[in-house]
Copies of this chain bind each other. A is one copy, B any other.
Amino acid sequence: MRSLMMAAVMLGGAATATLHAQPPDTTVVRIAELVIDPAQLDAYTAAVKEEMETSIRLEPGVLAIYSVAEKDKPNSLRFFEIYASEQAYRSHIESPHFKKYVAVTQPMILSRKLIETVPVQLSAKGR
């Protein structure tokens, strides 16, 4: 039993070393630009905040979802989304909370532009 635990600890150590040696080059970043019906902006904002919070809390592969409005166009929203992998992104868009968000907010969105990207560098504190 003890030797099994030792082996597990050693394997764990090796896996950690490997992870540190190889940067996470599977990371997927997606950008979205949405224009929201001004009359429904409050309802949209409430729905998307809930969806974002739920995704970060429940989905291990959803690393960050940032939502900002353009300064002088409060209904022009930009999203910057970081996923651990393509698989994590696909799993996200199949999740019940994402599907609910899409169904609820569809009639509130005037236009939507999605931008696929290739990460150049993702620098953040304490990651």
Whether the pair A123, B29 counts as a contact (CB closer than 8 A) is no
CB pair A116 B31 closer than 8 Å: no
Distance in Å: Cβ of A18 to nearest Cβ of chain B: 21
Beta-carbon contact of B116 and A63 below 8 Å: no
Q: How far is the CA of A70 from the CA of B33 in the complex (A)?
A: 14
Using Cβ atoms and an 8 Å threshold, which residues of chain B touch A74? 118
Interface size on A (CB < 8 Å)? 37
For window 61-90 of A, CB contacts with B under 8 Å fall at: 62-71, 74, 77-78, 80, 82
Interchain CA distance A48-B121 in the complex, whole Å: 9
Asked if A120 and B67 make an inter-chain contact with CB atoms under 8 angstroms apart, the answer reads yes
Q: Which residue of B lies closest to A66 (CB)?
A: B122
Residues from chain B with a CB closer than 8 A to the CB of A71 are 115-118
Starting from the known contacts A67-B120, A67-B121, A69-B117, 8 additional A-B residue pairs (CB-CB under 8 Å) come to: A48-B120, A52-B121, A63-B124, A63-B125, A64-B122, A66-B122, A68-B118, A126-B127
* CB-defined A-B contacts under 8 Å, sample of 13: A29-B66, A29-B68, A55-B123, A56-B123, A64-B124, A66-B82, A66-B122, A66-B124, A71-B117, A74-B118, A78-B115, A80-B80, A126-B126
